[in-house]
Amino acid sequence: MSRPVACSPVLRTIRIALSAGAATLAMALAAPPALAQGSAAPVREPEALEALAAMGKYLRSLKQFAVHADTTGDQVLENGQKVQFAGTVDYKVRQPDRLRADVRTDRVHRQFFYDGATLTQYAPKLKLYGAVKVPATIDATLQVAADELGITLPLADMFYWGTPKSGVDALVGATFVGKAMMGGVDCDHYAFRQADVDWQVWIAHGDKPLPMKLIVTTLEESSQPQFTSVLKWDTKSVFGEMPFRFSAPRDAHRIGIASGNAAVAPK
């Protein structure tokens, strides 16, 4: 599970201002032992690891899908106080080499287009866009974007679950929390722990084990900011080429791609 990102720059003069950090039902009176023993060392429960593997396998089997996420993210002010920003993320995906992402928060709106060869980011309000040549698969493109451009798209981990890049080996804790209902869907609630990140996932019951909710908690900061996503899936849509191709408006301006160390500019 990748750590939540506060700001992910891609264009020379603009940044995506994504809140740092990815409401649970009340716990039953008789909490599971793993929850009751707050000082107990984390364990890797086989059931939790198997559920994660099944979810990843199902996600990799989807050739096309759309997913909408309602998000909230914490950002830590200089005085240490946390503030929260709301947003949405909409993906259209055609495996293995087409992706469209629309990211909105209380502060910014960014669009991403990946057509199998080029990744383009567009800022509709600023009428600015940038494009860069990238590899021929979604997962490889997201890796290049993160490593070389400082771009980490929200929910990028869903493209790595079920692959050797899933990061399962980095888990120091994997726990089944209990049954839950999320968006009218019966789910199993799991909690996972890595060295500097805690994260939770609610996985749908049945033969379509989709992640319905995610919470990522950053442990490196004392305030432990969180990023929460509630997901709604469409696995029946069929996409042509148009959603993944960027056509620049007449009043838009192209600017160069900068590294992840680009200076912040007014949004």
For the segment 228-249, what is each residue's pLDDT rounded down to a tens digit? 999 999 999 999 999 999 999 9
* CA 122 to chain CA mean position, Å: 19
The token pair at 20 is 């740092």
pLDDT of residue 38: 56
Q: Which CATH superfamily is domain 8-21+42-251 in?
A: Lipoprotein localisation LolA/LolB/LppX (2.50.20.10)
pLDDT of residue 42: 80
What is the model's pTM?
0.81
pLDDT of residue 258: 62
pLDDT in tens, 90-138: 999 999 999 999 999 988 999 999 999 999 999 999 999 999 999 999 9
Which residue matches tokens 């990748």?
Answer: 2
Task: Find out whether 64 and 93 touch, Cβ atoms under 8 Å.
Answer: yes
Separation CA 245–CA 122 (nearest Å): 12
Which sequence spans correspond to the domains of the chain? 8-21+42-251
pLDDT digit string (tens) for the chain, length 267 residues: 644 443 333 333 333 333 333 332 222 323 444 454 555 778 999 999 999 999 999 999 999 999 999 999 999 999 989 999 999 999 999 999 999 999 999 889 999 999 999 999 999 999 999 999 999 999 999 999 999 999 989 999 999 999 999 999 999 999 999 999 999 999 999 999 999 999 999 999 999 999 999 999 999 888 899 999 999 999 999 999 999 999 999 999 999 876 543 323 333
CA trace torsion 39, 197, 231, 15 (10° rounding):
150
pLDDT of residue 215: 98
Which residue matches tokens 């789910």?
Answer: 187
